[in-house]
Amino acid sequence: MQNKISIIIPTLLRRDDILQACISTLLCDCAVDEIIIINNNPKKSFEYNNETVKIFNQEENLYVNKSWNVGISIIKNEIFGLLNDDIVPCKNFCTNIINSGILQKPDTGLLGMNLSYMPDFGVDEDELSTPEIPQLAKLDFKPLTDIDTLSDWGCVIIGKKENYYNIPDSLKIVHGDNYLLYKNKANKKQNYSICGLPVKHIHSLTVRSRGFEQLLMQDLKNWMSILPDIS
């Protein structure tokens, strides 16, 4: 299925309304024929009455990066999309990406979001309904110095399964996106940021929550120990 995409969304169900809006928008996108919801909140189930939406309620929190690994292992399409649960993409977001042809280029790595095209939820809906043809800016970065500036890039990651690398278990919540970026860069693939296709976003909805501070600090420490081997 060269022109179809499988979407993977890990969630703790902090904002059901945003997740519902995201799914609803994706279901109207003809390129999307599979949406994998990995519910990491063992105290709260999630349901969505549509055969395209496949829900996996977990008995314990897998955290983001392991959820991505699990999702990639079960999707049916060659093209995948990793989405935060606190975003709503513009109309036909995935179709426009696939129609751009960028994913068919042999040297393409992964695509993520440009911060300039991530408005908050106060923006008029009309601004998201008629997007421009996507512009894709080459993403070039230096080891160590740019890791923090890339953090918002990973709220949406689009790519082919051949360019996904299982994220180490030592990275729980953050820096999984950086790991994927650097692995592609190390394998001489060109990563991009997506411009011209806006995505509404509540920045860091989950990681700002109390209780994650120690995990985030440990993720950073572990990431800094991994980075020299792949950069």
For residue 130, the model assigns a pLDDT of 52
What domains sit in the chain, N to C, each tagged with a CATH number?
5-230 (3.90.550.10)
Tens of pLDDT, residue by residue over 154-203, are 999 999 999 999 999 999 999 999 999 999 999 999 999 999 898 998 86
Kindly state the tokens that stand for 183.
Answer: 């692995």
Tokens 């420490």 belong to which residue?
221
What band does 211 get if pLDDT is binned at 50, 70 and 90?
low
Tens of pLDDT, residue by residue over 122-162, are 655 555 555 557 889 998 866 554 455 556 789 999 999 99
Q: 181: left (phi > 0), else alpha (psi -120 to 50), else beta?
A: alpha
Instruction: Give 38's contacts (C-beta < 8 A, 6+ positions apart).
Output: 8, 9, 10, 11, 56, 58, 62, 67, 70, 71
Q: What is the pTM of this model?
A: 0.92
